[in-house]
Structure 1
């Protein structure tokens, strides 16, 4: 049973538990009206200490579609945080009002610390450059729905692999499924952290390759996961400007790819995917947005224990 459990890091969920969430989310995606109202009387607190469009709105839409209600803030300056209130005090207060919390925070580990002060489920909606587990669930639901499997895939990840929390979460989770391979495409300055290579890929003897040019390896991919170079993770503006246009996916590069390769992106994009690619049937990043709402419906239904 997942009722009452926190989602801080998908590593703390078994593969069976992940599959359970994905299966319910697929049922919801096929017939969302059947699940309307199952969380009537429940309240989600959406606490977003960092800007967000898709994650925040998809959590809110998910709870509303389940029949529940939403409270919270999208900017800490609109809360007592601006007066110096501690994270623990904010969460203890919200604990009295809500049944479940979704929190995004710029500090790595903040949701795990916050969980110590409350007795309702908390969902990590992104903590700094660390983890983004519900985006990974979104990615997995998208892949499952289109590819009909989560194993035997060659997954290319391109762009900011150093600071990209979505990339780290996705590699760790897809590494659990057999016969997956990874192609890591980035400039030297934004390569995947060593701990991902040593503690995840090498430790599990998972095949992977690193490249600096997307056009050299795109033809081998079943999935291409594009990411933006994140300005907010850089301390030096000059480094950001130098690296931000490292990779731009366009029609020419797409012509080199398999006919059934799919392109995913956690969004927002800046200019790493040319708008001309939107017309390609393999571009699924806006489908991904809708899957994100369905997977958050499935996740919250499981953690709340609603029938």
Structure 2
């Protein structure tokens, strides 16, 4: 067993070390204990020039038959999950390893109690089905509890004019971790700067959606069997789609990846992503020919045209919608090993008859989101 005492990201006991420095003591032992685990996690926060300590002791009884035992103690490398640029290949491999453990827990047992006593607050200022429900399912399957708001923009104090920072400071007092979706790019970063509890960005306007990108890369690895050397087509609304932005950042971590950008002119990928890919030595190409690209790629990642991002410009939305549809003709052009992915929800950009093809991976992709989010909650709250 590993007992770890470490300070929070805000400061170190004694006050001499800078923020984001990790310090502490650990008693080394076996990483996995078969039936019991005691984890001591201490956080020190510096508020109004004073040090305050918050400690929590969790005794977790975990006995999963025919599965790897879940344990905790070693601190995860990250304090918050805000953007895809935070990850390197080592961190990605660590997350995917734990996600595979979570899949065993979900499939072979009634769940785990590793997060018993922890509370997760979900603050969703934009609509969500899969992301919100998968986070809530993930927390409950690990023994934790959930405080939820489905439409915080309309029904929370934000409707009365409360600032995001005040909302976060309040919710921090009720929960151990905050999962937030917001309509403004950069909102998650503001939230993380405000609170001492971990913040997970579940989508910030047209900015990023890092947990979606994690499950996307995890799905590609599961479906294709590799990440180095793959060819990926990003199709649809590349200007407003936060999922494709985060996915592009993660794909750049791997070797010899080629990315095709297929979109209507009004929603082309923004220059910051293209410049980043170039700076990382990633080969990318814009194309208007979906059929040609489909014949070359390992992954065809389709997205919907996001009506909510067009405001009053209905004419531009109608111009973009329906230009690139994945149907049986596109499937026929694809290689046998290739897959179609989609972050969902789907409108008409993938025809329903595609669902029966084994290369349609988007519902398997959605299920993988549960395992990734179980892994993230476990890692952020109790560590390894």
Short-chain TM bin: over 0.9
1:82-111 Cα offsets, whole Å, 9 max, x none, are 222111111111111101010000001011
Please give the alpha-carbon distance, in whole angstroms, between the structure 1 residues aligned to 2:320 and 2:361: 25
Q: What SS does structure 2 have at the residue aligned with 1:258?
A: coil
Answering whether residue 125 of structure 2 is matched by residue 49 of structure 1, we say: yes
Report the aligned-residue RMSD: 1.3
Q: What SS does structure 2 have at the residue aligned with 1:31?
A: helix
TM-score norm. by structure 1 comes to: 0.96
Please give the alpha-carbon distance, in whole angstroms, between the structure 1 residues aligned to 2:231 and 2:221: 14
Answering whether residue 82 of structure 2 is matched by residue 8 of structure 1, we say: yes
Answering whether residue 68 of structure 2 is matched by residue 21 of structure 1, we say: no
Alignment CA distance shift 1:237-1:225 (3 Å)? same
8 Å Cα contact 1:4/1:121 also seen in 2: no
Query: Normalized per residue, which structure has more strand?
Result: 2
Query: Normalized per residue, which structure has more helix?
Result: 1
Deviates more, 1:218-227 or 1:139-148: 139-148
Equivalent in 264, 281, 296 of residue 205 of structure 1: 281
Please give the alpha-carbon distance, in whole angstroms, between the structure 1 residues aligned to 2:281 and 2:211: 26
Aligned to 2:310: 234
1:246-269 Cα offsets, whole Å, 9 max, x none, are 111101110010001011100001
Report matched runs for 1:128-207 at 5 Å: 128-198=205-275, 200-207=276-283
Please give the alpha-carbon distance, in whole angstroms, between the structure 1 residues aligned to 2:183 and 2:86: 21
Aligned to 2:16: none
Aligned to 2:169: 92
Query: What residue ranges of structure 1 are gaps of 5+ in the alignment?
Result: none
- CA apart distance, 1:238: 1.3
8 Å Cα contact 1:219/1:256 also seen in 2: yes
User: Which structure is higher in RCO with an 8 Å CA cutoff and minimum separation 6?
Assistant: 1
Number of matched pairs? 306
Deviates more, 1:33-42 or 1:64-73: 33-42
Equivalent in 265, 281, 285 of residue 342 of structure 2: 265
- CA apart distance, 1:222: 0.4
Q: What SS does structure 1 have at the residue aligned with 2:333?
A: coil
Q: What SS does structure 1 have at the residue aligned with 2:336?
A: coil
Aligned to 2:143: 67
Aligned to 2:190: 113
8 Å Cα contact 2:76/2:383 also seen in 1: no
Please give the alpha-carbon distance, in whole angstroms, between the structure 2 residues aligned to 1:10 and 1:252: 34
Deviates more, 1:39-48 or 1:15-24: 15-24
Larger radius of gyration: 2
Report matched runs for 1:29-40 at 5 Å: 29-32=103-106, 33=109, 36-40=112-116
Please give the alpha-carbon distance, in whole angstroms, between the structure 2 residues aligned to 1:145 and 1:281: 14
8 Å Cα contact 2:122/2:148 also seen in 1: yes
8 Å Cα contact 1:26/1:141 also seen in 2: no
- CA apart distance, 1:6: 0.5
Please give the alpha-carbon distance, in whole angstroms, between the structure 1 residues aligned to 2:194 and 2:314: 37
Query: What residue ranges of structure 2 are gaps of 5+ in the alignment?
Result: 1-74
**Deviating runs (4+, > 4 A) in structure 1?**
none
